[in-house]
Structure formats: C-alpha cells, structure tokens
Structure 1
Amino acid sequence: MDTSTALSALQALSHETRLEVFRLLMRAGPEGLAAGDIATTCGVRQNTMSSHLSILTQAGLIVSERDGRTILYRANVGGIQNLLGFLIEDCCGGNPAECQPLIQQLACPC
C-alpha cells in the first residue's frame, strides 16, 4: 500500500458515520448488509448513506455486490489488513519480537 492509498482510507474513516458503517460491516461478517439496512441501522437517509458507502468503497475498505434489486455491502478485510500492515510496517525498529503483542491483538480469531 502506498501513502496516497493509506491517506484515502484514513480520510474515509475519519467521518463518524463512515466509521460507524465500517464497524457495522465488520461485525456483520461475510454475509454483509443491504444498503437500506445500513442506512436504517445508522439512522441516515438513504441518499446520504449512498455517498458514505461510495467513499468507503473508493477507499478500498468495503465492497459491494448486487443481489437482485439489493446491493449488499461487506467489509473488505484485505483492504483493512493492507492499511494496518502499512501503519505498522516499520514497527519496533525492525525487532519483530517487540511487535508480537500488537500483531496478536490484530489477528482475527474468526
């Protein structure tokens, strides 16, 4: 991941509603959620939510898939792994043993 891509992802997450949506989709897991359900859960109008979902998609943090007339959104686990990897890439001055507690905390138990 390059600096520009990381900044785009961090900027997308720096908005309260988008952060809430991202965390909601992380909890939803691989099944994801329909756009309308996301808007309802977050208490946001659907047209406003559409903008937020677009920004998160462009930042590579979520993905969408059409299922009939419904668009399902899922967290892009690979995208967040890339961002986290970028953020801790030079962690601990090249001493991986010092980073192990952080890496273990980030490991998904699922």
Structure 2
Amino acid sequence: MTKTTTEPKSTTPDVIVRAASDPDFRARLLQDATATLAELGIVLPPEVTVKVVENTPSVVHLVLPALATEELTEGQLDQVAGGTSGENLDSASELLRTLMKEHNDTQMNIIKNI
C-alpha cells in the first residue's frame, strides 16, 4: 500500500466545500479524482479507485456499499489495507472510510426526504 509521507492538507469537508465553490477544481475532481486528491496530499493506494459523480435536479446517485461476506477483524483490515496486524491504517485509508461514511449518511438523508 502506498503510504503518505505527510498528513493530508485537506479533509473530506474541505474537498466538498472547495468543489462547491471552485468550478475548475470541481471539473478536475470529476475528470480525475485520484490525481486531484493527490494534489491535496491525499494519496490513495493504487488498488483503490475513487469515482466522483454529481447529482443534478433530475439525477440522484444512490451508492450501495459492497456486500460483506463476513466481518473482518481490525488486524485483517490492516493486512488487506497493506499494513501489518497491530499497525494503524494510514491516513489515506482513514480518509476513504470517512468519505464512505459521510457519503452513506448523505444518501440516507436524501432518501428520508424523498
């Protein structure tokens, strides 16, 4: 797994706020999310793909989580993420988890309001 050498300069809310207010950044994020996030110090492992889509008044994206076949222990999660048992996940993996949770929370709020 690729490890970041520094802490990310931005967090998920920073990325979303900037995408909402900076059309050039938004376009780059939609075009190549991995490279755009890397500009902010957010380096993802090569096996992780981030796809950014945008909702419109007539199209709402509903993202389903991957099906889990069984619950993994923290040690197994560390190994799958490229670390070793007992080590903390690197900041990119933590950011990815945060992104997924925030996205799922947002989707649930949209569904409640439909």
TM-score, reference length from structure 1: 0.30
TM-score, reference length from structure 2: 0.29
Greater percentage in strand? 1
